[in-house]
Structure 1
């Protein structure tokens, strides 16, 4: 368990740019804890919930398609849980290989 890194926060802020809950989530980012997921090094993160109830994924609230440094497509989703809080930052690399570099601005 660890806090979000700067690059992770920047990507999440970018993903939230059109969300009506943008400010709510951005204010929480410095205080959130995450666990790196066992995804073969693709960079997915699970947000740690403070709820005592079982939380499951509810919906995507933002999606972006990018490329890793090696030119392989990345499909990134920010997921909301049933508690209406951030649930997961899902990073999927098209060839299932480990991420070369976590995405940094500018995002294209």
Structure 2
């Protein structure tokens, strides 16, 4: 959806989608690594998640996401997908392995669409 909005020049919508995506990444990280957490939002995230090597790696990825431009280019949107896959591989490798064909198909679809534009 983010790529679609960028291609259409809908920067305000792209900004909102990227914000939602970053918040979702935060929630996935916290839920997967600290499921017993009573906290929501950003405040306690580093203390809770950063206790393990995997958590620190996820926080590094999340920090990269948060320091990227608020309205990405299409290439940066593709990097967002790569970042999400890396995060998922760290916290749920079995789930990503089961989606390998779907991820490959999505990337092929995006490349095909670029060739049509």
What TM-score, normalized by structure 1, do the two folds share?
0.29
Name the structure where strand makes up a greater proportion of residues: 1
Name the structure where helix makes up a greater proportion of residues: 2
What TM-score, normalized by structure 2, do the two folds share?
0.27
Q: Which one has a bigger Cα radius of gyration? A: 2
